[in-house]
Amino acid sequence: MTIPAPEERKGISIDRRSFLKDAAAASLTGVAVLSATEARAQQPSADSDPPKPAGLKPMAEFDSRFPVAYNSSVPESMRILTQYFQALSERNLDGVADTLHYPFVTYEGSEPVVVESADQLRANPPQSMNVTAKGDLITPGSYDIMEGIELHLYNPCGAGFSLPYTRYRADGHKMLGCHGIYGVTNNDGKWGIEFMSTIFQPADQLSETYDALSLVTAQHDHWRLHAEARLKGDLDEARTSINFPGKRASVTIGGSNRSSIPAREGRPMEPYQIKGVKSRLRVSELTQEQIDHPSPEAMAAAAKNQKEFEQYSGGGVGKWAYSIEIPETYVMHAANDKGHIYTGFRRYVANGTMISEARFISAAVFRKGVWNASEITGVFGYMMYQDHTNDVT
């Protein structure tokens, strides 16, 4: 029988140091401190905000060590995603519509398409979702088979997946492959898809990798330039290294800058609020003129952002010195106009101690000879995977 520690039975929050001390002591006697059953019992309902977990340190961000990051969000978002695929494969637009948040964004080729309502979806479905037999991607009589589902990101208010599928002609001939990335979020108690991007390729080109190398190289170049600009306080470079002309859309589920400031100010769960949240989608558009000649307001915002970055990015670990992409970075799939990337970054202090690790997935588009690959364009995330503040303070 599992016996929870007295602190847990009383529902009293305890800090991580004492938790681990108790855990170590308890493990010697074969008694677990925090039972999984009790942790589940403490799960919030779908429409309530996730509580601050025991063990979250002062100044620290919520990270993936806490079960509330995955124990409900992963099954719930998986349920939505399989429902979406089933509806798509049944050519059931109503069923598709039921699985989406409004507005949501879908990257159709290299352009983000924002759909504001279910009525708009039914009246004018994006190509990848057009099951009405009037679109270009779905041949009447064709059918789809799911390849699999990979979970890349998760936290209490969202989860990021990839789901490839194959489309067959009625006689069984393989026609197309689709690689999709999907961001599923909990807004005000309802789980739904808020971000997606699809890459379709002919069946005989499914394993080609022509564009993957140039994309991952571009991604790294932008990272390097941006990290260097941050270090030098070069506002121009910090801006231009991650901004590209055109429309872009991302869905923010906390993590990194979005959660660093609230965490340092004692509000670590603020980025993960659910109740009352209508949308997590951010859509913006920039022109080359705005990038080359920013307004005074834009420069003031950049200066404020840089100041906050210097103040907060070190967390409770130390002074931020540099950031590097996570070694797990890879191109999941790429075509000549768009790629799907899994990446993130680790922040370090000068002596090499890691501060934190954040992860995200993104749709990087290729426009006018440039890969628009950065941490703010076409992103679903971030997930704060590990905040070392929780270990060292």
Partner 1 sequence: MTRKVGEQVDASARQVTNRRSFLKSAAVAGVVGGAALVSGHAQNSPDSWQQATDPQAPSGIRPKGSLDCRFPMTYSTSVVESTKVLMRYYEALAARDPEAMADTLHFPFVTYEGPYATLVESRDKFLASPPPSMNVTSSGDSHIKAGSYDMLDHTEMLIFNPIGVGHTLMYNRYEEGGERILQCHGIYGVTNDDGVWGLEYLSTIFKPANQIGRDEYTLTSVDEALHDNHRDKVASRREADLPMVRKMVEDPYPHGSVWIGGSTVPGIEGRPMAPYKVKGVESRLRFSQGDTQEFMDKQNYNMEHFAEVSGAGVGTWALSVEIPETRTLYASAVKGHYYSGYYRYTANGTVISEHRYLGAEICRRGVWYGHDIATTFGQVLYHDWTNDGAHS
* Chain residues that interact with partner 1, rule: CB under 8 A: 1-2, 20, 23-24, 27-28, 30, 32-37, 39-40, 63-65, 67, 69-71, 74-75, 78-79, 82-83, 85-87, 89-90, 92, 94-95, 97-99, 143-152, 154, 168, 170-172, 207, 327, 354, 385-386, 388, 390-392
The first and second tokens of residue 29, run together, are: 């006697």
Distances (CA, A) of 20 to 4, 23, 193, 207: 14, 5, 37, 47
d(CA 162, CA 340): 9
What is the closest distance, in whole angstroms, from the C-beta atom of residue 378 to partner 1 in the complex? Answer: 20
Those residues whose C-beta lies under 8 Å from the C-beta of residue 170, and which sit 6 or more positions away, are 141, 142, 143
- Residues 372 and 246: beta-carbon distance below 8 Å: yes
What is the closest distance, in whole angstroms, from the C-beta atom of residue 86 to partner 1 in the complex? Answer: 5
d(CA 156, CA 364): 25
What is the closest distance, in whole angstroms, from the C-beta atom of residue 288 to partner 1 in the complex? Answer: 37
d(CA 299, CA 297): 5
Residue 44 or residue 245: which is nearer to partner 1 going by CB? 44
What is the closest distance, in whole angstroms, from the C-beta atom of residue 247 to partner 1 in the complex? Answer: 30
d(CA 96, CA 82): 11
What is the closest distance, in whole angstroms, from the C-beta atom of residue 152 to partner 1 in the complex? Answer: 6
Residue 51 or residue 67: which is nearer to partner 1 going by CB? 67
Residue 24 or residue 283: which is nearer to partner 1 going by CB? 24
- Residues 320 and 347: beta-carbon distance below 8 Å: yes
Q: Can you tell me whether residue 362 is helix, strand or coil?
A: strand
CA atoms 356, 324, 381, 315: torsion sign: positive
Residue 90 or residue 221: which is nearer to partner 1 going by CB? 90
What is the closest distance, in whole angstroms, from the C-beta atom of residue 239 to partner 1 in the complex? Answer: 32
Residue 122 or residue 278: which is nearer to partner 1 going by CB? 122
Residue 260 or residue 389: which is nearer to partner 1 going by CB? 389
Distance of CA 219 to the CA centre of its chain: 17
- Residues 188 and 278: beta-carbon distance below 8 Å: yes
Closest by Cα among 331, 243, 255, 340 to 294: 243
d(CA 275, CA 277): 6
What is the closest distance, in whole angstroms, from the C-beta atom of residue 223 to partner 1 in the complex? Answer: 18
Residue 108 or residue 357: which is nearer to partner 1 going by CB? 357
Residue 52 or residue 169: which is nearer to partner 1 going by CB? 169
Distances (CA, A) of 309 to 188, 259, 393: 30, 12, 20
The first and second tokens of residue 346, run together, are: 């680790």
